[in-house]
Amino acid sequence: MTGKRIVHVVDDDAAVRRALVRLLRSERLEAVAYETAQAVLNAAPNLSSGCMLLDLRMPGMDGLELLARMGEFGIDLPVIVLTGHGDVPTAVKAMKAGAVDFIEKPIDEDQLLGAIRAALADKKPGARLRAVARAAEQMTLLSPRERQVLEAIAGGRPNKLIAYDLGISVRTVEVHRAHMLDRLGVRNIAEAIRIAVLAAVAQLAC
C-alpha cells in the first residue's frame, strides 16, 4: 500500500467499520478496515502511508496499548482517536501517547473528514502540533468562567453540579455554555470537549 490517501480504520464494531468505510470511499479515499488491534500489528509491514482512525475501547488489546506498541512495529502513521464514551482522561492519555487528534462518537462527518485531510496533508509531528496549537489558541477566546464551565463539562460534571461548584444558577451555566460554544465556533459540546482535550495536552507539554 503506497498511496497517500489511505485511511486505516480500527474498530471492533462491524457496523461502525462499514459506515466509516462507506463514508471514506464516498470521498475517494482508500479505506482498509481492521477488527482488532492485533490485526493492525500483523499488517505492520504494509502500514507505510496514510493515517489511522483508532477506536480506544476494544476487547483484548485496546487503542491505548496499540498506540504504545506501534513504534515497536515500525508503524508511524498519524492517528485520530475515536471514542464513544466521553472518556476525556483516556483521550488525554492517547494524545500524550502520540495521537494527532481526538473525535467523540457519534461522529460529525465534516469534523472527521477535516481531521483526516489534515492528517493526510501533514507528517505525524506536524499534524499533532497543528491540532494542539489550534486548540490552545481557541481556548484563549473564552472568558475565565466559560473556561471553568468547559473544563467541568469535560470532567463529566452535569450542569446542576457545575452550578453548585461555581456558586451560580443552572441558567447561568447554560448561558456560559452557549457563549462558550459560540466563541469556539463549534456546534455541539462534543466538539468543545475535543478542543479542551487538545488544549490540555498543550499545557502538559509546557
Domain ranges within the chain, ordered by starting residue? 6-121, 137-205
DSSP string for 39-105: HHHHTGGG--SSEEEEES--SSS-HHHHHHHHGGGT----EEEEESS--HHHHHHHHHTT-SEEEES
pLDDT given at position 87: 66
Beta bridge partners of 101: 80
Task: Give residue 71's pLDDT band: very low, low, confident or very high (50, 70, 90).
Answer: confident
Mean pLDDT of 58-72: 92
Is pLDDT above 50 for 1?
Answer: no
> Among the listed ranges 70-74, 76-80, 188-192, which one has the minimum average pLDDT value?
188-192
Does the domain spanning 137-205 belong to CATH 1.50.10.10? no
If one looks up domain 6-121 in CATH, what number appears?
3.40.50.2300
Q: Compute the mean pLDDT over every residue in the chain, rounded to the nearest whole number.
A: 88
Task: Express each pLDDT in 119-171 by its tens digit.
Answer: 888 765 666 778 788 889 999 999 999 999 998 988 888 899 999 999 999 99
Cell numbers found for residue 139: 481556548
Is pLDDT above 50 for 42?
Answer: yes
What's the pTM?
A: 0.77
Percent of the chain with pLDDT over 70: 91
Tell me which residue has cell 498519524: 78
